[in-house]
Amino acid sequence: MKKQSPLQSVTADSHQKRLYSLTGIINIGLVTLILSIFVLAVTTYSKLKSFEESLILMTDESLPTVVHSGELYSQMSLLMSVTERLSGANSDAMRRIAYNAINQQLASLDDVAMDRSDNAYMLAQLRSIRRELADLNSLVEQKLTVNTLLNTQQDKLFTLHSNITDTATATVTNLANQPWYLAFSNVVARASEVLTTDQLSLIRQQQRTLSALLDKLDSLSQAQRTSKIQGASAISTQLRRMILDDKAGLIALRQSQLKIVGRVRGRGNFVRNLISDYARLNEFESHQLNESVLERAYDTSRLVTQQIQHISIIFVFVFLAYVAFVLFIHHAVVRRLKKLRNQVQQRAAGDSREIKMSGKDEMTELAHSFEQFASTIETQKATLEELSLRDALTGIANRRALDERYLQEIHVASRQRWPLSVMLLDVDFFKQYNDNYGHGQGDECLKQVAQLLKSTLPRKTDLLARYGGEEFAILLPDTDQAGAIRVAEAILNAFKEAQIPHDFSGVADHITISIGISVSKDVLGDHTIPSFDEADKSLYTAKRQGRNKWVMYDESIV
């Protein structure tokens, strides 16, 4: 059963409250003249009925189609957004979350498709998009698998290098064995370069270089002078397998990683273009339907006016009567329709004035329907903009909102020469928290941290934002160095009192936080602006000095 949209319900309710009808008034006018010119009355009535049908067509077909198109475009925009998240997923948890969001969005689009008369075509398009998204999800899953294997192999390589280096340092080594250690370190260093190379041709060159270096290491391992190095040949063989193995070697995995990343990027762009093209196609079809209905209404009005003018030449009495009739049509219909058209065009161009029409008839209902539609679109747009400035996990401002607010505040601070302070905060040993408590508990911890930080900022002008991962940023307008220090101390005390458990922290048995501060200064009449780079350097210094403290930036910090 086809669902009735909210816009249709509003139109139906307003129809019941309508005080008078244009059709009724026109019919009464025709009845007064039917005895003298029956043919004229019948012809005029047929034209007016055609005009009424155009209005009904706009109300019953065009507007619901526009509403569905707007809803479809909004859903498609959200689908494109979660597709971006799937393409950029850097963990299996992020991939599953993004793919579940995509499936929910596709289910919503299926519901929209069932309300459309051409739902067979739309469902076919959605099936195509669903297949492409499933392929993209598979590619992202492959990418994450290869990333995991590559990280594992990298850890093994660095562990082997660390063990060999510790052995060489702890024992008194014959000078004759030094070439072997140098060759081993050279191979590990060259292998590390593969992890930062983004071109397959360069990786193949590095593969040939590493093969030659490993051959040299094998030769040194077999030489008599290296006999005191325990297991040198086995180490050389193990190192060769780690780097040059056709399937699990470091080079093979890096090549697979680059290929899959390219495929994920290409498939992601293709899917986004597919969704965007389909959304624009539906919007274009809706626009064509509206243009057709409006043109039909205009043609009908023009024909009615012409017919009245022709008949008025023959009958003077009819002429006088129809002059009044035409004036009524022009005043009650044509002029109001043009006024409505101008209001709709102005609203589409960005004018915020309400679309309204005097009277209580079909034209008023049409104006009200257009206003409802425009308001719905503007509300959805405002909602999307608000969501784009919020962090999905913690509910506080995100990096984009922080950047926009930062630009505003430095402009005000520079113009008014007001103090301005910025802070960067990082949860101490959060990786250990995630590794031991799990990512789900880690997310809950970040939410608690966000709420705790928010509670220490009583001023509405202060801004708390998630800077990335376990990092947060605070913007303190009209706050000097002393004020920033008070806020930092309040934050440290709040975490000390909160006692959020963290048994794997290297600082305390609870969650602690390190803070880097940058404050504006007046030097020789110049007003310097604080930056997040300075705050980041201060944060790094706080980490080096033992964490769970704040550090104020000065020029001595490198």
Residue 487 and residue 453: Cα distance in Å, rounded? 10
Q: Is 159 helix (H, G, I), strand (E, B) or coil?
A: helix
- Residue keyed to tokens 């103090």: 419
Smallest Cα–Cα separation from 194: which of 254, 275, 278? 254
Q: Cβ distance 364 to 336 under 8 Å?
A: no
Residue 91 and residue 425: Cα distance in Å, rounded? 24
The encoded tokens of residue 552 equal 């104020």
Residue 217 and residue 184: Cα distance in Å, rounded? 7
Q: Cβ distance 254 to 66 under 8 Å?
A: no
Distances (CA, A) of 511 to 63, 275, 311, 467: 56, 44, 90, 18
CA 142, 148, 152, 157 dihedral sign is positive
Q: Is 84 helix (H, G, I), strand (E, B) or coil?
A: helix
Taking CB atoms within 8 Å and a gap of at least 24, the contacts of 4-8 are 5/64, 5/67, 5/68, 5/115, 6/372, 7/63, 7/64, 7/67, 7/369, 7/372, 7/373, 7/376, 8/63, 8/64
The encoded tokens of residue 181 equal 């250690």
Catalytic residue among 470, 471, 497, 534: 470
CA 47, 52, 55, 56 dihedral sign is negative
For residue 464, what is the enclosing H or E element? strand 463-468
Residues 6+ apart with CB under 8 A from 206: 190, 193, 194, 197, 251
For residue 426, what is the enclosing H or E element? strand 420-427
- Is 84 one of the catalytic residues? no
Q: Active-site residue numbers? A: 470
